[in-house]
Amino acid sequence: MPRRVLRHALMLSLRHRWFWIAASGVLVATVVIGSLQTMFAGGVVRGFDKVEHFATYMFLAVWFTGLYRPPRYWVIAAGLLALGLTLELGQFAMHAGRIADPYDMAANTGGIAAGVVLAWFATGGWAEKLETWLAS
């Protein structure tokens, strides 16, 4: 399959593709840095960090399902699960004030599931709709 056809089969036809890709990179980098930094480790109200995990991964799921076609939502979910697991393992390996917590991973998973369900029923393809609206 030619590269151009494959690319269009995966990502929506977006006029500002490079902006969305760059913004996605910044978003993921922010999550990685926020998850592995130790400056504020332990400063969150007990249990509230699960809400943060859920909301962050739901936002990531909604973000990426806005850029890709519905048949790729499972790839997005798998990638976000891998990101969450990798960051939890990174926290475990750091031994620098952060700990790996299986409940964090459960909150991540719940957020991903909620984001994908939301995309199926309401927000999927939001970036294409936004570009169309801004162009009119």
Q: What is the pLDDT of residues 34-88, one digit of tens each?
A: 888 876 555 555 667 899 999 999 999 999 999 999 999 999 999 999 999 999 9
Coil, strand or helix at 68: strand
Is residue 92 predicted with pLDDT exceeding 80?
Answer: yes
- Cα–Cα distance, 7 to 103 (Å, whole number): 36
Nearest to residue 80, comparing CAs of 68, 98, 93, 97?
Answer: 68
Number of domains in the chain: 1
Is residue 2 predicted with pLDDT exceeding 80?
Answer: no
Is the distance from CB of 112 to CB of 58 less than 8 angstroms? yes
Q: What is the pLDDT of residues 20-38, one digit of tens each?
A: 999 999 999 999 998 888 7
Question: Which residue range is the domain that position 17 belongs to?
Answer: 3-135
- Cα–Cα distance, 54 to 71 (Å, whole number): 23
- Cα–Cα distance, 100 to 77 (Å, whole number): 20
- Cα–Cα distance, 134 to 128 (Å, whole number): 10
